Amino acid sequence: MNLTLKVWRQKNSADKGKFETYEVSDISPDMSFLEMFDVLNEQLVNESRDPIHFDHDCREGICGMCSMYINGKPHGPKDAITTCQLHMRSFKDGDTIVVEPWRAKAFPVLKDLVVDRSSFDRIIQAGGYISVNTGGVPDANEIPIRKDIANEAMDAAQCIGCGACVAACKNASAMLFVSAKVSQLALLPQGQVERKSRVENMIAQMDGEGFGACTNTGACEAVCPKEISISNIARMNREYFSAKVSSQKV
């Protein structure tokens, strides 16, 4: 396959950045999108040019590091996969592919396609944890949890924190991410200790990071590689208002 790539290049967060066009040839349709970038970068290194910086780690769709906005959609044209799971057979020979970084005030571009997603880490630090006793490992299934509840919590826990929801949202809102984390813990008995303070603190942090509000367009769930449902956002709203009304924090 021969392809034309229009890729966002930006030296650092202070740089304005611009698109640059590259040609790649002899790309196998069986390559992943990131492998195609590896080929391009090898080409650039051989020409003594600065390779394109992009985030990646596991390349198995579970770490949440890869983050490319491909032809107007986070993680490219296919549903329910990350950029690393996207294969070149999803494109046609001769295609022009536009690749941009996630765009959000809370995700500043560090270099090229690499954005700083530590705002997500700070939201997790604000409440996305549970208190447990230290000591020996507890027995599995010691705490009974109904199967349907466990399933729902697991569906929410699938979130890998890649930020595609923020990238796709017209408001760069982080609601789907935060709601997945809130839901996962609110549904389980282990999450009850911090249940109220968690949602209050995580949402305060989310607002402070400069993410937008939710217009319920549903773009986030449509692009989520883990198919997290916006029913989690409704649950987070319920959690938030019941916590605000009933918690002791004034």
Residues forming contacts to another protein in the complex (CB under 8 A) are 6, 8, 19, 69, 71-73, 98, 100, 103-106, 168, 170-173, 203-204, 206-207, 210-219, 222-223, 230-231, 233-238, 240-241, 244, 247, 249-250
**CB-nearer residue toward another protein: 100 or 112:** 100
Q: Which is nearer to another protein, 51 or 108 (CB)?
A: 108
Cβ pair 106, 211 in contact under 8 A: yes
Q: In angstroms, what is the minimal distance from the CB of 116 to another protein?
A: 14
Q: Are strands 96-100 and 3-9 parallel, antiparallel or unpaired?
A: parallel
93 Rama class: left (phi>0) / alpha (psi -120 to 50) / beta: beta
Nearer to another protein by Cβ, of 45 and 154: the residue is 154
Place of tokens 């966002």: 8
H/E stretch holding 237 reads: helix 231-246
**CB 141 to another protein: min, Å:** 27
In the complex, least distance from residue 52 CB atom to another protein, rounded to whole angstroms: 16
Comparison of 63 and 98: residue with beta carbon closer to another protein: 98
Is residue 185 within a helix (H) or strand (E), and if so which, with residue range?
helix 175-186
Nearer to another protein, 133 or 248 (CB): 248
For residues 217 and 167, give the distance between their C-alpha atoms in angstroms, rounded to a whole number: 13
Q: Which residues contact 40 (CB under 8 A, 6 or more apart)?
A: 5, 22, 24, 52
